[in-house]
Amino acid sequence: MSETHWIPVAQEQRLDVLGTLSDATKHVWVGLHGYGQLVSFFSRHFRSLVSEERTFVFPQGPHKFYLNGVNGRVGASWMTKDERLVDIANQREYLSSVFRWIEEKAPHSTIHCIGFSQGVATIMRCIGHQGVLPASLLAWAGSWPPDLDKTNRAALNALTFKAWFGTQDEYINTEKQEQMVTHYREKYNFEPMVGIYGGGHSFDAEKLAREITALEK
């Protein structure tokens, strides 16, 4: 007879910080990377955006793997289709811990989130749960979950949401972008703000900097 059990296990997870967390910090951006990335690489996109009042915090996806074969470069993932509901529950607990940690280190700050690629769906499934309540969410080149729960939807309506897509994105083409907007409009009565840039599945550095500044106002 075979049985499957899930047990709680205390684990440590990596968290990289660009800038300083203190009483003087006004804005903290929690950045969630895409599939196959590590925070040491992902954080490079934000180095020039750090200031005395702005800090970035990068949790790393808990599932690491070799990108090619059984050796060489390593990447990280937030989840796969296998046992996805367990992974979503773990993500909520993980990001809740991140938010509490930030609130202790920078008690007067406003917390924002930015997700890239897989990181978009990850943060969107977590918002509203267990204190994960950012003031704004910047969704960059990522798919939006088609299955938000009631708590997610309430949090989404309470924050400022902005999405950006590239015209040559090899993973999310124009048709899929339009389908997601229509789905959220019709199913959730939510009208997302969407920006388009000429490029692929990557950041547009100029637009990224401008958007982060705008969302802090």
Tell me how far apart the alpha carbons of residues 17 and 209 are, in angstroms, rounded to a whole number.
18
Residue 208's pLDDT is 97
Average pLDDT for 93-115: 98
Eight-state DSSP code of residue 10: -
Angle, vertex CA 12, rays to CA 35 and CA 58, nearest 5: 45
Contact between residue 108 and residue 23 where contact means Cβ atoms under 8 Å apart? yes
- Report residue 9's pLDDT band, with 50, 70 and 90 as the boundaries: confident
Average pLDDT over residues 189-212: 96
Of 149, 182, 147, 153, give the one whose Cα is nearest residue 137: 153
Residue 104 CB neighbours (<10 A): 9
| 43-93 tens-digit pLDDT | 999 999 999 999 999 999 999 999 999 999 999 999 999 999 999 999 999
Cite the beta strand spans of 61-151 per DSSP E: 63-66, 74-77, 110-116, 136-140
Q: What is the 3-class SS of 192-211, one letter each residue? A: CEEEEECCCCCCCHHHHHHH
Q: How far apart are CA 161 and CA 170, in angstroms?
A: 23
Map residue 31 onto helix, strand or coil. strand
pLDDT digits (tens, 9 = 90+) for 178-196: 999 999 999 999 999 999 9
Q: 3-class DSSP state for residue 59?
A: strand
The answer to whether 55 and 19 are in contact (CB under 8 A) is: yes
For the domain spanning 15-215, the CATH number is 3.40.50.1820
Taking alpha carbons only, the member of 62, 90, 89, 92 closest to residue 77 is 62
Per-residue pLDDT band for 10 (boundaries 50, 70, 90) equals: confident
User: How far is the CA of 189 from the CAs of 85, 185, 216, in angstroms?
Assistant: 25, 5, 25
Residue type, 159: L
pLDDT (tens digit, 9 = 90+) per residue, 118-146? 999 999 999 999 999 999 999 999 999 99
Spatial contact of 29 and 114, defined as CB atoms under 8 Å apart:
yes
3-state secondary structure of 37: strand
CA distances from 76 to 3, 15, 73, 81, 171 (A): 29, 13, 10, 15, 18
What are the sequence ranges of the domains in the chain? 15-215
Structure tokens at 124: 């969107």
| pLDDT, tens digit, 9 for 90 and up, residues 20-48 | 999 999 999 999 999 999 999 999 999 99
Q: State the pLDDT at residue 125.
A: 98
Q: Residue 207 pLDDT more than 90? A: yes
